[in-house]
Amino acid sequence: MKQLTPNHYKIILRDISEGEGGAFEVFAPAFHAYCFGDSPLEALESYYIYFEDEKERREKEKIPMPKSDIMPQKLKQVPLRIPQDVYEHIASTAREKGISFNSMVTGILAGVSG
């Protein structure tokens, strides 16, 4: 069986700020878990940290991970032009999380647009 990653699970990203300042929430229905951040990226990073901690806990306690709630999809390749510093930040964060650049961008876009 292939190893499950954070991107195998649906997340819902919401802007929960009231007034000035940013506050964002990621909800992962498969885990009934909420993660938070001051920006969409911080909330997503919080989810990735939660996921790794939860995966480790479940391995230690021999509790299976929930089944993936993402349906297989057809993929579309699109060109994307972004500033170098933004690219480097996303690439660095993706490496730290052990996921691909594409997975990181797709997760960000899916959460922001959803």
Domain ranges, residue 29: 6-69+76-113
**Residue range 57-97, pLDDT digits in tens:** 999 999 999 988 886 667 677 888 888 998 899 889 888 88
Q: 1 in a domain, yes or no?
A: no
Q: What is the pTM of this model?
A: 0.62
Residue carrying the six token digits 């490496």: 95
> 99 exposed, middle or buried (CB, 10 Å; 0-12, 13-18, 19+)?
middle
| Token duo for residue 43 | 């909330």
Q: 30 in a domain, yes or no?
A: yes
Q: 24 in a domain, yes or no?
A: yes
Q: 106 in a domain, yes or no?
A: yes
Helices (H), 7-100: 40-60, 84-97
